[in-house]
A and B are shown apart, each in its own frame.
Chain A
């Protein structure tokens, strides 16, 4: 496989890999390093690429494993430093509305951060990246029932917290 073919086949998923690594590691530089590492690994194994059924899910799985390896090496738990400085489009909003929106984003980021690791990963894959349950099974290397239970619990936890925020302004 030529480098050009590899680029057109694998590079388009780079942002998905980056976001997933970032979700796990909570550090921009580390997430970038992991994506580079994934590309190098996939490039080194390019001869077997034709045997891979779902290349994107495979890359995501490598990303997950490399990120978790890093966490294990550093003996720290998955991220508690998700970027709180969200870049949300604020076109047409007043300064007060912009501040309020930014506060809401921070609250939700903190809320997501409180979820157990597996629930957070499954929710990320489904609600941010839009993967099917089957693909999530493949990426996470868990069965369908675990995926569904994790997503159900995560969404319910989010819903409860949102209701509290709406009712009492508590996160």
Chain B
């Protein structure tokens, strides 16, 4: 590439009108070492870009990352939790279960006796049920008695009405 062509291409480059291929041509030119003094600034700049592109990671990087990825492949949950943490979580669960049990017991104790369940003693449960049914039955009996009184009143009313009708007819 002659100097005139380089200058033209460089002008295009500063105006952002160059293609990637043209930019590569400029890089190649400035890497060739035969730089005219008039383009020294641009040459330094392209030299800087080249040096930047040569920065690489250290050789052991692949090994370090591969090891980490392999660990994750073989089961990241176990790795994340660990035995120490598992023991802590188990202890936490035991504490929560024990606390729940004790609180439940306390709540049960504070219930009035009549509200407590009797299902643990079938005989007592039977007696309780019998008592409840008898109470309902007594209530029904009372209600029936009251209802028969009402019936008597109705019959009496009917008789009085019939009597008064007869009297009107006879008059």
Task: Enumerate chain A interface residues (CB-CB to B < 8 A).
Answer: 3, 6-7, 11, 14-15, 18-19, 22, 32, 35-36, 39-40, 43-44, 86-89, 101, 104-105, 107-109, 112, 124, 126-130, 132, 148, 151-152, 155-156, 158-159, 162-163, 165-166
Contacts and interface: CB of A to CB of B under 8 A. Distances in A.
A40 B66 CA distance: 10
A11 B62 contact: yes
B41 A162 contact: yes
A86 B48 contact: yes
Interface in B41-82: 41-42, 44-45, 47-49, 51-58, 61-62, 64-66, 68-70, 72-73
Given A14-B57, A15-B56, A101-B47, A43 B23 contact: no
Given A43-B72, A148-B16, A155-B13, A128 B65 contact: no
Contacts of B53: 19, 128-129
Contacts, number: 93
| Minimum-distance CB pairs A-B, first 7 | A162-B41, A104-B44, A108-B48, A166-B41, A88-B51, A15-B56, A152-B16
Nearest to A43: B69
Given A39-B69, A162-B45, A165-B41, A128 B52 contact: yes
B20 interface: yes
A87 B57 contact: no
Contacts of A129: 53
B44 to A, nearest CB: 4
27 contacts: A3-B66, A7-B66, A14-B62, A15-B57, A18-B57, A19-B53, A19-B55, A35-B65, A36-B68, A39-B68, A39-B69, A40-B69, A43-B72, A87-B51, A87-B55, A101-B44, A105-B44, A105-B48, A108-B48, A112-B48, A127-B49, A128-B49, A128-B52, A130-B23, A130-B24, A155-B13, A163-B41
